[in-house]
Amino acid sequence: MPRSFLVKKYFSNKKPYYRESQLESQTAFVPESFPLAELPTQNNASALTCHPSSPFFTSSDALPAPLSPITPASLPPSPSSSFGGEEEEDGGRTSDPPSPEVIQNIFHCLHCSKSYGSLSALSHHQLSSHQLPPSGPLLQTASVPSEESPRPAFHCKHCSKEYTSLGALKMHIRSHTLPCVCPTCGKAFSRPWLLRGHIRTHTGERPFACQHCSRAFADRSNLRAHLQTHSEVKKYQCGSCSRTFSRMSLLHKHNSSGCCPSS
C-alpha cells in the first residue's frame, strides 16, 4: 500500500499547487536578495494548534512549529527554547511562533500529574513510567476540551487538515510557511529536497539516467515515469478494456474520454 495514502486526503481533486502567484500571497521574500524565507507571520502567530481531543492532559493553545530553512547562511543558530529546539527557523518570523512563557509545562500527565514542556517529554514519561503509548487517549488541550474522541488530533490553523501526530502536523505546516527559498529565483518550497530539485532546473543537472536510453532526469519520479514508457505492460490498467498506461493521469484521461464513462 502506498504510504502516501495512509493519511486521509482532504483535497483529492485539487491540490495545493503553488504557483508563483500563489506563492506571492504566502511568502514575503524579497525578490532582490532572497535572503530568507519570510513567511506569513505575525498575524498567524499560532498556526500550529495542538488540538487533541482526549481527556488526559492539557496544554495551552499554541505549540511551536519548528521550521528549518534551507536558506543561505543567514540564519544564526536560533537559541532553542524549552521546546526542544523548536524555535522558529527565522527567529520567530514565521508562523506559529511559540511563546516560551506561554508554553511552559503545558503537557500534563493525568496519571501522576507531572507536567512537561513538550509533547515528546510527556510521551517519554508516559512510556517509561506508565507504559502508555506516547500519544493516544491521553491527550487533550485545555483550549479545546472536546469530548472523548478516540484519537488525538492536531489541527492546522492554515487549513482544515488534521493529523494524529505533532510531527506530521509540523511537516504539513511547512507547506504553508515555505521556508526554503531558491537563491536564484526566489521561489519558496516547503522542504529542502524540493528546493534542491528546483535548483536543478537552474543548473541543468540531471542525475537520474535511464538505463534503457540516453535520457536523464533531474527528478527520480520523472525517471520512474519515464521507465514506464520502456515497459511493455504499463503500470496503470483500464478496468474495462485492460489497456495499460504509463501514468495514472493517462488512465484518467482514457477513462474520461469514454472508455469507462462511469468512472
* Binding region for DNA (CB under 7 A): 2-4, 6-7, 9, 12-18, 66, 68, 70, 84-86, 89, 118-121, 123, 161, 163, 165, 167-168, 170-172, 174-175, 178, 187, 189-194, 196-198, 200-201, 215, 217-222, 224-226, 228-229, 245-250, 252-254, 257
β-strands 188-189, 48-50 pairing: unpaired
CB of 130 to DNA, least distance (A): 17
Cβ proximity to DNA: between 146 and 228 the closer is 228
CB of 64 to DNA, least distance (A): 8
CB of 215 to DNA, least distance (A): 6
One-character DSSP codes across the chain? --GGGSS--S-SS------HHHHHHH----TTT--S---S-GGGTT-EEE--BSSS----SB---------SS----PPP-TTTS---TTTT-SS----TTTSTT-EE-TTT--EESSHHHHHHHHHHHH---SSSTT-B-SS------SS--EEESSSS-EESSHHHHHHHHHHHH--EE-TTT--EESSHHHHHHHHHHHH----EE-SSSS-EESSHHHHHHHHHHH-SS-SEE-TTT--EESSHHHHHHHIIIIISTT-
Cβ proximity to DNA: between 147 and 242 the closer is 242
CB of 50 to DNA, least distance (A): 13
CB of 190 to DNA, least distance (A): 4
CB of 82 to DNA, least distance (A): 12
CB of 33 to DNA, least distance (A): 19
Cβ proximity to DNA: between 3 and 147 the closer is 3
Cβ proximity to DNA: between 142 and 224 the closer is 224
Cβ proximity to DNA: between 127 and 145 the closer is 127
CA torsion through residues 8, 14, 16, 17, sign:
positive
Cβ proximity to DNA: between 4 and 113 the closer is 4
Cβ neighbours of residue 201 closer than 8 Å, sequence gap 6 or more: 218
Cβ proximity to DNA: between 56 and 83 the closer is 83
